[in-house]
Chain A
């Protein structure tokens, strides 16, 4: 089974802090994703990575950056946390992008509270 793990289930941070969220997948997937999930808004893509050191902006990249130094690990960085970044953050991975390989496998999520 594909396993996607996230470093923390719950985090509480102060406004202005730099926050690191880590995600690791164990199935040698090429693609990794970071989403945030807010009530009534569904999942919104923050960043996508299709290879080591490669990334694409999603719908809401402002205030976030990402790092993918190893294939299995994808980090989301909040450079200076703000209260409007309080949310559930979900990491996902997929083997491919088409032909039935685009199924995304999700981690359990990190619930971030910024005070």
Chain B
């Protein structure tokens, strides 16, 4: 079993829809949770960073962590065609100092 599981998609939704992207993880010691966005033929870029359980909002994006279920989510409201990209979750423990554990990424397509 992988330490971090992420549905590769593709996930195709109409413009304006609410998008939910998810990752599950197996190690309860994970403390830091990140979402990166990767456009085609580009490197990933950090989108959201959360610590421990709860919600964090940034514009149209909300990151949610449920440590009891070992489940993290990224919600995108009012989705736009420019949101079409691959979304990767990345997780680490408090003492891993540099090692991130990455999900495989979910490809998201927003149809105009």
Contacts and interface: CB of A to CB of B under 8 A. Distances in A.
Interface string A24-56: 000000010100000111111100101000001
Contacts of B42: 108-109
Given A103-B46, A103-B49, A104-B46, A45 B41 contact: no
Nearest to B4: A42
Interface string B95-106: 001111011110
Contact of B88 (A40, A42, A58, A105): A42
B44 A97 contact: no
Indicate the size class of the contact surface on chain A: 20 to 34
B98 A48 contact: yes
A5 to B, nearest CB: 10
Contacts of B99: 45, 48, 58
Interface in B83-102: 88, 90, 92, 97-100, 102
A41 B88 CA distance: 11
Interface residues of B, number: 22
A108 B88 contact: no
B104 A40 contact: yes
A106 B102 CA distance: 14
B98 A31 contact: yes
Given A103-B46, A104-B46, A41 B41 contact: no
A109 B45 CA distance: 12
Contact of B43 (A40, A48, A106): A106
Given A41-B104, A42-B102, A90 B8 contact: no
B102 A43 contact: yes
Given A40-B104, A42-B103, A43-B100, 10 more contacts: A4-B43, A56-B98, A90-B43, A97-B98, A98-B97, A102-B98, A105-B46, A106-B44, A106-B45, A108-B41
